[in-house]
Chains A and B, each alone.
Chain A
Amino acid sequence: MSTQAQDLTVRKSVVVDCSPEHAFETFTSRIYTWWPFETHSPADERPEDAIFEPGVGGRVYDRMASGEEHEWATVLEWEPPRRFVIDWHVTPGNPSTELEVRFLPEGGATRVELEHRGWERYGDDARDTFASYDSGWETVLRPFVEAALKSS
Protein backbone atom coordinates (compact mmCIF):
# COMPACT_ATOMS: atom_id res chain seq x y z
CA MET A 1 0.00 0.00 0.00
CA SER A 2 1.17 3.47 -0.71
CA THR A 3 1.18 5.88 2.18
CA GLN A 4 -1.02 8.82 1.55
CA ALA A 5 -1.00 12.04 3.51
CA GLN A 6 -3.80 13.67 1.57
CA ASP A 7 -7.38 12.53 2.00
CA LEU A 8 -8.55 12.04 -1.54
CA THR A 9 -12.06 10.93 -0.72
CA VAL A 10 -14.74 13.03 -2.32
CA ARG A 11 -17.82 13.44 -0.12
CA LYS A 12 -21.04 14.97 -1.36
CA SER A 13 -24.56 15.24 -0.08
CA VAL A 14 -27.81 16.47 -1.58
CA VAL A 15 -31.42 16.50 -0.35
CA VAL A 16 -33.90 15.25 -2.93
CA ASP A 17 -37.61 15.87 -2.60
CA CYS A 18 -38.78 12.29 -3.04
CA SER A 19 -38.75 8.95 -1.22
CA PRO A 20 -35.55 6.93 -0.68
CA GLU A 21 -37.04 4.26 -2.95
CA HIS A 22 -37.53 6.69 -5.80
CA ALA A 23 -34.12 8.29 -5.26
CA PHE A 24 -32.42 4.89 -5.22
CA GLU A 25 -34.18 3.79 -8.36
CA THR A 26 -33.40 7.02 -10.18
CA PHE A 27 -29.74 6.79 -9.25
CA THR A 28 -29.40 3.18 -10.37
CA SER A 29 -31.87 1.77 -12.90
CA ARG A 30 -32.50 5.18 -14.48
CA ILE A 31 -28.92 6.40 -14.47
CA TYR A 32 -29.14 7.13 -18.16
CA THR A 33 -31.65 9.92 -17.55
CA TRP A 34 -29.33 12.09 -15.49
CA TRP A 35 -25.68 11.04 -15.94
CA PRO A 36 -23.70 13.96 -17.40
CA PHE A 37 -22.36 12.17 -20.45
CA GLU A 38 -21.25 15.46 -21.97
CA THR A 39 -18.37 15.76 -19.55
CA HIS A 40 -17.89 12.28 -18.23
CA SER A 41 -18.06 9.33 -20.53
CA PRO A 42 -15.48 6.70 -21.44
CA ALA A 43 -16.17 7.19 -25.12
CA ASP A 44 -16.06 10.25 -27.34
CA GLU A 45 -19.63 9.88 -28.55
CA ARG A 46 -22.71 9.72 -26.38
CA PRO A 47 -23.77 6.15 -25.63
CA GLU A 48 -27.21 4.88 -26.61
CA ASP A 49 -27.89 3.53 -23.16
CA ALA A 50 -26.39 3.10 -19.70
CA ILE A 51 -27.30 0.00 -17.73
CA PHE A 52 -27.08 -0.47 -13.96
CA GLU A 53 -27.76 -4.12 -13.19
CA PRO A 54 -29.24 -4.60 -9.70
CA GLY A 55 -27.71 -6.91 -7.10
CA VAL A 56 -24.21 -7.84 -5.96
CA GLY A 57 -22.07 -8.64 -8.98
CA GLY A 58 -24.30 -6.56 -11.28
CA ARG A 59 -22.54 -4.70 -14.07
CA VAL A 60 -22.75 -1.01 -14.74
CA TYR A 61 -21.94 -0.24 -18.34
CA ASP A 62 -22.85 1.82 -21.34
CA ARG A 63 -23.70 0.71 -24.84
CA MET A 64 -22.95 2.58 -28.02
CA ALA A 65 -25.20 2.60 -31.09
CA SER A 66 -22.68 0.20 -32.66
CA GLY A 67 -23.35 -2.32 -29.89
CA GLU A 68 -19.95 -1.75 -28.31
CA GLU A 69 -20.04 -1.73 -24.50
CA HIS A 70 -17.87 0.02 -21.92
CA GLU A 71 -17.66 -1.31 -18.39
CA TRP A 72 -18.04 1.33 -15.69
CA ALA A 73 -18.39 -0.62 -12.49
CA THR A 74 -19.44 -3.76 -10.65
CA VAL A 75 -21.87 -3.80 -7.73
CA LEU A 76 -20.14 -4.77 -4.46
CA GLU A 77 -22.92 -4.13 -1.96
CA TRP A 78 -26.61 -3.81 -2.70
CA GLU A 79 -29.12 -2.79 -0.03
CA PRO A 80 -32.03 -1.06 -1.76
CA PRO A 81 -33.30 1.48 -0.97
CA ARG A 82 -30.69 2.40 1.66
CA ARG A 83 -27.26 2.13 0.05
CA PHE A 84 -25.07 0.56 -2.57
CA VAL A 85 -21.33 0.31 -3.20
CA ILE A 86 -19.77 -0.16 -6.61
CA ASP A 87 -16.18 -0.48 -7.69
CA TRP A 88 -15.70 1.91 -10.53
CA HIS A 89 -13.26 0.57 -13.09
CA VAL A 90 -11.05 3.29 -14.33
CA THR A 91 -9.71 0.82 -16.83
CA PRO A 92 -11.01 -2.74 -17.10
CA GLY A 93 -9.09 -5.38 -15.20
CA ASN A 94 -7.20 -2.89 -13.07
CA PRO A 95 -7.71 -1.45 -9.58
CA SER A 96 -10.92 0.47 -9.17
CA THR A 97 -12.09 3.39 -7.15
CA GLU A 98 -15.02 2.79 -4.85
CA LEU A 99 -18.28 4.68 -4.87
CA GLU A 100 -20.71 4.41 -1.97
CA VAL A 101 -24.10 6.09 -2.11
CA ARG A 102 -26.49 6.18 0.84
CA PHE A 103 -30.16 7.21 0.77
CA LEU A 104 -31.35 8.47 4.15
CA PRO A 105 -34.93 9.51 4.95
CA GLU A 106 -35.02 13.14 6.08
CA GLY A 107 -38.46 14.57 6.83
CA GLY A 108 -40.49 13.67 3.80
CA ALA A 109 -37.44 13.82 1.59
CA THR A 110 -34.20 11.88 1.11
CA ARG A 111 -30.65 12.85 1.87
CA VAL A 112 -28.31 11.29 -0.67
CA GLU A 113 -24.75 10.96 0.61
CA LEU A 114 -22.00 10.03 -1.79
CA GLU A 115 -18.42 8.93 -1.13
CA HIS A 116 -15.92 8.38 -3.91
CA ARG A 117 -12.74 6.82 -2.54
CA GLY A 118 -9.88 4.44 -3.19
CA TRP A 119 -7.61 6.55 -5.36
CA GLU A 120 -4.63 5.37 -3.34
CA ARG A 121 -4.96 1.96 -5.00
CA TYR A 122 -3.43 3.51 -8.04
CA GLY A 123 -0.07 4.07 -6.46
CA ASP A 124 1.48 0.69 -6.97
CA ASP A 125 1.33 -1.26 -10.23
CA ALA A 126 0.33 -0.69 -13.82
CA ARG A 127 3.39 0.30 -15.77
CA ASP A 128 2.94 -2.79 -17.92
CA THR A 129 -0.59 -1.90 -18.86
CA PHE A 130 0.41 1.57 -19.96
CA ALA A 131 0.88 0.56 -23.59
CA SER A 132 -2.65 -0.79 -23.88
CA TYR A 133 -4.40 2.52 -23.27
CA ASP A 134 -6.54 3.83 -26.07
CA SER A 135 -8.59 6.99 -26.30
CA GLY A 136 -11.12 8.35 -23.86
CA TRP A 137 -11.04 10.16 -20.56
CA GLU A 138 -10.60 7.02 -18.49
CA THR A 139 -7.46 6.04 -20.28
CA VAL A 140 -6.02 9.42 -19.50
CA LEU A 141 -7.17 9.38 -15.92
CA ARG A 142 -5.27 6.29 -14.91
CA PRO A 143 -1.69 7.33 -15.62
CA PHE A 144 -2.54 10.73 -14.25
CA VAL A 145 -3.70 9.28 -10.97
CA GLU A 146 -0.76 6.94 -10.75
CA ALA A 147 1.72 9.64 -11.39
CA ALA A 148 0.12 12.04 -8.98
CA LEU A 149 0.07 9.45 -6.22
CA LYS A 150 3.63 8.33 -6.83
CA SER A 151 4.85 11.87 -6.63
CA SER A 152 3.09 12.81 -3.42
Chain B
Amino acid sequence: MAYRNAMDALGDPTRRAIFERLREGAVSVGEIADELPVSRPAVSQHLRVLKEAGLVRERRDGTRRLYRVDPDALGELRDYFDDFWTQALASFKAEAERERRNE
Protein backbone atom coordinates (compact mmCIF):
# COMPACT_ATOMS: atom_id res chain seq x y z
CA MET B 1 0.00 0.00 0.00
CA ALA B 2 1.46 3.29 -1.10
CA TYR B 3 0.54 5.21 2.00
CA ARG B 4 2.02 2.60 4.28
CA ASN B 5 5.27 2.89 2.34
CA ALA B 6 5.10 6.66 2.66
CA MET B 7 4.71 6.39 6.41
CA ASP B 8 7.61 3.98 6.64
CA ALA B 9 9.76 6.20 4.44
CA LEU B 10 9.03 9.25 6.58
CA GLY B 11 9.65 7.36 9.79
CA ASP B 12 13.33 8.22 9.47
CA PRO B 13 14.20 11.71 10.80
CA THR B 14 16.80 12.42 8.13
CA ARG B 15 14.39 11.48 5.37
CA ARG B 16 11.76 13.71 6.94
CA ALA B 17 14.25 16.57 6.97
CA ILE B 18 15.07 15.98 3.29
CA PHE B 19 11.40 15.74 2.42
CA GLU B 20 10.79 18.96 4.31
CA ARG B 21 13.54 20.66 2.31
CA LEU B 22 11.95 19.56 -0.96
CA ARG B 23 8.75 21.34 -0.01
CA GLU B 24 10.49 24.60 -0.78
CA GLY B 25 11.10 23.61 -4.39
CA ALA B 26 13.12 21.32 -6.62
CA VAL B 27 16.72 20.79 -5.51
CA SER B 28 19.71 18.63 -6.42
CA VAL B 29 21.46 16.06 -4.25
CA GLY B 30 24.39 18.44 -3.82
CA GLU B 31 22.24 21.27 -2.58
CA ILE B 32 20.62 19.03 0.03
CA ALA B 33 24.01 17.69 1.12
CA ASP B 34 25.31 21.25 1.50
CA GLU B 35 22.42 22.29 3.71
CA LEU B 36 21.99 19.22 5.87
CA PRO B 37 24.59 17.27 7.85
CA VAL B 38 24.31 14.32 5.46
CA SER B 39 26.77 13.05 2.85
CA ARG B 40 25.86 13.01 -0.84
CA PRO B 41 25.70 9.21 -1.06
CA ALA B 42 23.42 9.15 1.98
CA VAL B 43 21.20 11.86 0.47
CA SER B 44 20.95 9.83 -2.75
CA GLN B 45 19.97 6.76 -0.80
CA HIS B 46 17.29 8.62 1.15
CA LEU B 47 15.90 10.16 -2.03
CA ARG B 48 15.68 6.71 -3.59
CA VAL B 49 13.54 5.49 -0.68
CA LEU B 50 11.32 8.59 -0.88
CA LYS B 51 10.93 8.08 -4.61
CA GLU B 52 10.00 4.44 -4.23
CA ALA B 53 7.41 5.43 -1.63
CA GLY B 54 5.79 7.76 -4.17
CA LEU B 55 6.63 10.89 -2.23
CA VAL B 56 9.29 12.41 -4.44
CA ARG B 57 9.77 12.84 -8.17
CA GLU B 58 12.96 13.26 -10.14
CA ARG B 59 13.59 15.22 -13.32
CA ARG B 60 16.62 16.10 -15.38
CA ASP B 61 17.70 19.67 -15.88
CA GLY B 62 20.63 19.52 -18.28
CA THR B 63 23.20 17.41 -16.49
CA ARG B 64 21.57 17.83 -13.10
CA ARG B 65 18.88 15.72 -11.51
CA LEU B 66 16.37 17.71 -9.50
CA TYR B 67 14.05 16.32 -6.87
CA ARG B 68 10.70 17.63 -5.69
CA VAL B 69 7.65 16.47 -3.76
CA ASP B 70 5.27 14.39 -5.84
CA PRO B 71 1.92 16.22 -6.08
CA ASP B 72 0.11 12.89 -6.41
CA ALA B 73 1.05 12.16 -2.80
CA LEU B 74 -1.98 14.20 -1.82
CA GLY B 75 -4.29 11.86 -3.69
CA GLU B 76 -2.70 8.90 -2.01
CA LEU B 77 -3.29 10.44 1.37
CA ARG B 78 -6.96 10.90 0.60
CA ASP B 79 -7.19 7.35 -0.70
CA TYR B 80 -5.65 6.14 2.52
CA PHE B 81 -8.37 7.77 4.57
CA ASP B 82 -11.03 6.57 2.19
CA ASP B 83 -9.84 3.01 2.78
CA PHE B 84 -9.43 3.60 6.46
CA TRP B 85 -13.01 4.77 6.98
CA THR B 86 -14.40 1.92 4.90
CA GLN B 87 -12.65 -0.48 7.24
CA ALA B 88 -13.55 1.43 10.40
CA LEU B 89 -17.24 1.77 9.50
CA ALA B 90 -17.48 -1.95 8.70
CA SER B 91 -16.06 -2.65 12.13
CA PHE B 92 -18.44 -0.13 13.69
CA LYS B 93 -21.46 -1.64 11.91
CA ALA B 94 -20.57 -5.16 13.04
CA GLU B 95 -20.23 -4.02 16.63
CA ALA B 96 -23.45 -1.95 16.66
CA GLU B 97 -25.46 -4.83 15.20
CA ARG B 98 -23.84 -7.47 17.42
CA GLU B 99 -24.68 -5.54 20.57
CA ARG B 100 -28.23 -5.04 19.40
CA ARG B 101 -28.77 -8.75 18.85
CA ASN B 102 -27.57 -9.45 22.35
CA GLU B 103 -29.99 -7.00 23.91
Contacts and interface: CB of A to CB of B under 8 A. Distances in A.
Interface stretch (A8-16, A47-55, A56-64): A8-16
A12 B74 contact: no
A83 to B, nearest CB: 15
B16 A39 contact: no
The 4 closest A-B pairs by CB, nearest first: A148-B74, A34-B95, A151-B69, A26-B96
Contacts of B10: 140, 143-144
A149 B19 CA distance: 13
B86 A12 contact: yes
A104 interface: no
Contacts of B20: 127, 130, 143, 147
A33 interface: yes
Contact of B71 (A40, A146, A148): A148
Interface string A110-152: 0010101001000000010010010101001101111111111
Interface of B: 6-7, 10-11, 16-17, 19-20, 22-23, 55, 68-71, 73-75, 77-78, 81-82, 84-97, 99-100
A89 interface: no
Interface of A: 6, 8, 10, 12, 14, 16-18, 22-23, 26-27, 30, 33-36, 39-40, 112, 114, 116, 119, 127, 130, 133, 135, 137, 140-141, 143-152
A137 B8 CA distance: 9
Given A17-B97, A26-B95, A144 B87 contact: no
Contact of A26 (B68, B78, B82, B99): B99
B73 to A, nearest CB: 4
Contacts of A30: 95, 99
